[in-house]
Structure 1
Amino acid sequence: MSELPLIPKCKEVIFDTGNILSWSRLRKKPLVSGTDEILDSTDSLVKCWLKQQADSDALQKAEQIRVCCPIHGNQAELERSQMTPEQRAELRINLKVTIWPNAYRHGAISEAVQEALTSLSATDCDSIVLSIAGNSWSRPPNAGGLLLNDVKPLWLELEELHCADVVASLGAADFVPDLLESLHQWAKEKPRICQLHTQVACTTPLRLRNFASANGMQLLTHSDSPDPLPSDRLQQAVAKAFNRESDGQGWQPRWLVRVSSTVRDRGVVKTWGYVYKVQRNNIVPM
């Protein structure tokens, strides 16, 4: 690896993989987990993006950068190329937003959703499922798991997006029955989707199935890790992508959005990708 850092002053990066279904190399490579898919696509993304960066001095001075798929162009171009109403009507757009609770600040969910929709050249989506990193069914509230008060500020942000017609339906991933019922009772906009990990889906409690049925809630499964972007693996991946050990130091995930769109009434996946934000406090010495 090179010794001199390429982004020594950078404290914030937003990675936007674009539609990885169009990346033939990733389609051919067997990936064993969502984390592998995120980090492998990040490696390819950064290497392609760096080839488009003619001004290395600007990178040296930048404190914030947005690394996007070169075929997307820059963010201004994305915002100008919005979907037509006819194109949007053909698609069902679903977002899964993962928040790292120790780094959460008000506005993070709105920022994540806006960045994801910009990536799709869309202004709204059909559903958003909230996932909180580190949460799982193995950690109920009485064992240090999530409480309703932990979820409230995040859900309020989602409700604001719903009121603004940015999203039609809201959902939650891996909320134990007590938490899901408490959220449903408290929230103005009720969760309509409940995602369960495949490891527990086969033994879904009758209580949860009955609650979902009585309240018009859709039960879905997923295979995502409780922490889809571990800090150590993230830092290793960034260092490898930028080919500089120092450029990988200190990064911590803030939010992650998995973006997918399917053709309505056909279920054909048209778009699959990730948008995520990382930050660090330290400045790398030159």
Structure 2
Amino acid sequence: MGTDSRAAGLLLRRASTLHLQTGNLLNWGRLRKKCPSSHGEELRDCIQKTLNEWSSQISPDLIRSNSSSMRSAVEMACSALGIAQLDSVIIASPPVEDGVNLALEHLQPYWEELENLVQNKKVVAIGTSDLDKAQLEQLYQWAQVKPNSNQVNLASCCVMPPDLTAFAKEFDIQLLTHNDPKELLSESSFQEALQESLPDIRANEWVPLWVLRYSVIVKSRGIIKSKGYIIQAKRRDS
């Protein structure tokens, strides 16, 4: 193991929070695999490459923030892209215990953070992911800032449910599709990527808190100009 890797491990042992930004993936050329088979595989490759680049340069400047995770994610994305406002933010449903159905009370604290970001003009529009008709209706009726979109996983349905389609049409909610796994970045996958990049650290002490994936699309042309990930991780019990 080289000196840079040991120094990086030393910095992380002293830290309690890790913010990882990949930058524009379109400028990277090829990742470790020529064509990642999924977003999850692409994300793990990005974590390893970003950590390797960081450890070779050893920059101890870690962003510290006491604000909400949602605000932190949005502010980091704006900073990375050099902009003041995001056009759209879509939140993936927060994890719930096995056997527990996602309810409005699970979504409310996250949605209130998004509403504050809209009111403060940091975000223009906010949307949801993987909500069925009943869940989307409950959120819509409660929310002050209404969801303007809802993503549906292609793995869960080949055809949009008719009741969801009718509700979305009535209230002008755009239905989108995605093919992300249920868990984009597992704790074990993050720790494996961390350990492989920085063998001198105790990777099992670190857990990912949130992942933000962003993309910049050329208006009216549908061409992706930039895309990347931002991850926040935290040391256990810190």
TM-score normalised by the chain length of structure 2: 0.89
Residue in structure 2 matching 1:268, options 218, 223, 233: 223
Q: Relative to 1, partners in 2 of residues 1:171 and 1:42: Cα closer, same or farther, differing over 3 Å?
A: same
**Equivalent in the alignment of 2:206:** 251
Q: Distance in 1 between matches of 2:94 and 2:183?
A: 5
Q: Relative to 1, partners in 2 of residues 1:133 and 1:150: Cα closer, same or farther, differing over 3 Å?
A: closer
- How does 1:1-286 map onto structure 2 within 5 Å? 5-6=9-10, 7-26=12-31, 29-53=34-58, 65=62, 107-134=68-95, 143-244=99-200, 246-281=201-236
Q: Distance in 2 between matches of 1:106 and 1:116?
A: 15
Secondary structure of the residue aligned to 1:41 is: helix
Q: Relative to 1, partners in 2 of residues 1:276 and 1:174: Cα closer, same or farther, differing over 3 Å?
A: same
Please state how far the C-alpha of 1:133 moved relative to its aligned partner.
4.6
Count how many residue pairs are aligned between Structure 1 and Structure 2. 231
Q: Distance in 2 between matches of 1:48 and 1:179?
A: 42
- Segments of structure 2 that go 5 or more residues without pairing to the other structure are none
Stretch moving more, 263-272 or 234-243: 234-243
CA deviation map 1:139-161 (0-9, x unaligned): 8xxx4121101111110110011
Q: Percent identity?
A: 30
**1:117 maps to amino acid:** C
Secondary structure of the residue aligned to 1:256 is: strand
**1:204 maps to amino acid:** M
Q: Distance in 1 between matches of 2:67 and 2:132?
A: 24
Q: Distance in 1 between matches of 2:46 and 2:67?
A: 28
Q: Relative to 1, partners in 2 of residues 1:128 and 1:11: Cα closer, same or farther, differing over 3 Å?
A: same
CA deviation map 1:141-196 (0-9, x unaligned): xx412110111111011001111111111100011221111000000111111101
**1:154 maps to amino acid:** Y
Q: Relative to 1, partners in 2 of residues 1:282 and 1:149: Cα closer, same or farther, differing over 3 Å?
A: closer
Moved over 6 A (4+): none
Q: Distance in 2 between matches of 1:9 and 1:280?
A: 10
Q: Relative to 1, partners in 2 of residues 1:166 and 1:282: Cα closer, same or farther, differing over 3 Å?
A: closer
RMSD: 2.4
Q: Distance in 2 between matches of 1:277 and 1:206?
A: 37
- Residue pair 2:32, 2:45 contacting (<8 A) in 1 also: no
- Residue pair 2:149, 2:173 contacting (<8 A) in 1 also: yes
Q: Distance in 1 between matches of 2:103 and 2:237?
A: 32
- Residue pair 2:207, 2:236 contacting (<8 A) in 1 also: no
CA deviation map 1:196-248 (0-9, x unaligned): 1111342321000000111111111111111111001111101111133x341
**1:205 maps to amino acid:** P
- Residue pair 1:133, 1:227 contacting (<8 A) in 2 also: no
Q: Distance in 2 between matches of 1:27 and 1:238?
A: 15
Q: Relative to 1, partners in 2 of residues 1:175 and 1:208: Cα closer, same or farther, differing over 3 Å?
A: same
Q: Distance in 2 between matches of 1:134 and 1:155?
A: 14
- Segments of structure 1 that go 5 or more residues without pairing to the other structure are 67-104
CA deviation map 1:49-94 (0-9, x unaligned): 222127xxxx6xxxx835xxxxxxxxxxxxxxxxxxxxxxxxxxxx
